Chains A and B, each alone.
Chain A
């Protein structure tokens, strides 16, 4: 897949920007780290979780990680901490824990 190097773009003349600011690369939102916006992070209690996948369906940022049809964790690079997963979980298996600086 062609990659769009931001550095290269920065050095380009404005005329050579692709028409319609189209980026010749797909799935670029992966490079946009929205995890830094978070003040609360979801923590899943797998003792309570029944694997209903509601959290996966409701997460607006596709940040619930699923492997082999099972919820395995949260993609903290992209999770914005909106708390929707916690609110929707029918088992109250997700708690929102305040982010604190380490140490």
Chain B
């Protein structure tokens, strides 16, 4: 039997609460909007003695990730968190964390990158880190942010995975809005994540090891990158296993690709993050008007569940991909390009359109979602339309 305990929490408070229940050995972080309140709350848990965590207040995000790498290499369960420029400052260490196969969990509260300076949400920060070898998971609301933080610990530390995991959710919309969050008991969380037994530890004096040694020409860099790529590919199956075991304790079901109202859908929307809600709202309305629409919500972006996307999308007439970041100089946003790749070789592939939305926190208005559907219907009637649309540009006043 499951006793449900529901709290009203902001996304960041929900994550801080999850961190308290996880009770990590080491947390190293530096404040940046909109992530700051996670650590603000968590440091209170530390000050009150509610956790045993060593909280390292470093002088930058570069140091936060460096300290996390050192802690993880010493065998500590390590968590950090950041946003935007902070993630950008962690860049070079991100690759070291994944290359050394250190199971660090990073909570990234999505925010745009400067310039112009802007503190609001888009996905440019995490999309920029998509090739860093980290597992990347997106969340729609505070509940998912809470759940995924707990799941991330188990996923990162799984012997078959041993890779760092980045949890992403939208700045302010999720991080600072109060939401209904169903929490698990401390015991359940502890039981679920279990004890962490590191493969190697720099503190194990009886079994000394060298980590991060120089590997020159004639070494194993090339082989090692292949192993690392295989590890992140294989993590997809482990992720689903862990989602399934999480469902047993929470009754909340997660999939590496989330799909809703897909079975008979002719037009499918694909989106990551908080705006799933607006799209869902619209899909319900379209369905009541007899337009067969469906929703695919991005859960795992890295690894990218290529086969699942192909299977889900291949029979649709049209796919509308909403990107909350751009890839300047490329033909569309990162999610769009990724999905186009998945659909290559499909017989009679769907028409695929890309809608760039929400940069720097720009709202995605409901009538703009209507506009995306209109563009798609035009194309389905045989009219020639552009593939990539910036649908929220400000209009000239009339």
Cβ of A69 within 8 Å of any chain B Cβ, yes or no, is no
Bound Cα distance A19, B156 (Å): 13
Interfacial chain A residues near B223, Cβ < 8 Å = 14, 17
A9–B215 alpha-carbon span in the complex (Å): 13
- In the complex, which residues of chain B have a beta carbon less than 8 angstroms from the beta carbon of A28? 210, 213
A22 and B209 form a contact (CB under 8 A): yes
* A55 → B minimal CB distance (Å): 25
Name the interface residues of A1-19: CB closer than 8 Å to any CB of B: 1-2, 9, 14-15, 17-19
Bound complex: CA A28 to CA B100 (Å):
17
Q: B214: CB under 8 A from chain A?
A: yes
* Residues B226 and A22 in contact, CB atoms below 8 Å apart: no
Interface size class of A (residues with CB under 8 A): 10 to 19
Q: Which of B102, B215, B227 has the most CB of A within 10 A?
A: B227
- B215 lies within 8 A of A23 (CB): no
B100 touches A26 (CB 8 A): no
Within the assembled complex, what's the spacing in Å between the Cα atoms of A23 and B220? 12
For window 197-230 of B, CB contacts with A under 8 Å fall at 199-200, 207-211, 213-215, 220, 223-224, 226-227
- B213 lies within 8 A of A24 (CB): no
- Distance in angstroms from B93 CB to nearest chain A CB is 14
Smallest beta-carbon distance B101→chain A, Å = 4
B361 at the interface (CB under 8 A from A): no
Size class of B's contact patch? 20 to 34
CB <8 Å contact, A20 and B102 = yes
Given A14-B226, A17-B227, A26 and B215 contact (CB-CB distance below 8 Å): no
B209–A21 CB distance below 8 A: no
Pairwise interchain contact B199-A19, C-beta atoms closer than 8 A: yes
With a cutoff of 8 Å between Cβ atoms, the chain A residues found around residue B226 in the complex are 14
Residue of B at shortest CB range from A2? B207
> Judging by beta carbons under 8 Å apart, are B200 and A21 in contact?
no
Instruction: Report A17 CB to chain B, min CB distance, Å.
Output: 6
Check A20/B220 contact, CB under 8 A, given A25-B209, A26-B210: no
Q: How far is the CB of B234 from chain A (nearest CB, A)?
A: 12
Q: How far is the CA of A19 from the CA of B102 in the complex (A)?
A: 9
Are B220 and A1 in contact, CB atoms less than 8 angstroms apart?
Answer: no
Asked if B303 is at the interface (CB within 8 A of a chain A CB), the reply is no
Please name the residue on chain B nearest to A34 by beta carbon.
B214
- CB of B99 within 8 Å of the partner chain: yes
Judge whether A23 and B210 touch: CB under 8 Å. Answer: yes
User: Do the beta carbons of A26 and B208 come within 8 Å of each other?
Assistant: yes
Q: How far is the CA of A83 from the CA of B1 in the complex (A)?
A: 72
Query: Which of A15, A17, A21 touches B213 (beta carbons < 8 Å)?
Result: A21
- In the bound complex, residues from chain A placing their C-beta under 8 Å from that of B214 are 32
Among A15, A17, A27, the residue within 8 A (CB) of B220 is A17
The contact string, 1 if C-beta is below 8 Å from chain B, for chain A 25-57, is: 111110010000000000000000000000000
Q: Which of A20, A27, A29 contacts B211 (CB 8 A)?
A: A20
A5 to B227, CA, bound (A): 21
Within B178-199, which residues are at the interface with A (CB < 8 Å)? Answer: 199
14 contacts between A and B (CB under 8 A): A1-B208, A9-B220, A17-B223, A17-B224, A18-B199, A18-B200, A20-B101, A20-B162, A22-B199, A22-B211, A24-B207, A25-B208, A27-B208, A32-B214
Interface residues of B (CB under 8 A from A): 99-102, 162, 199-200, 207-211, 213-215, 220, 223-224, 226-227
Chain A residues proximal to chain B, CB less than 8 Å? 1-2, 9, 14-15, 17-29, 32
Counting from the closest, the 3 A-B pairs by CB-CB distance are: A26-B208, A20-B101, A23-B210
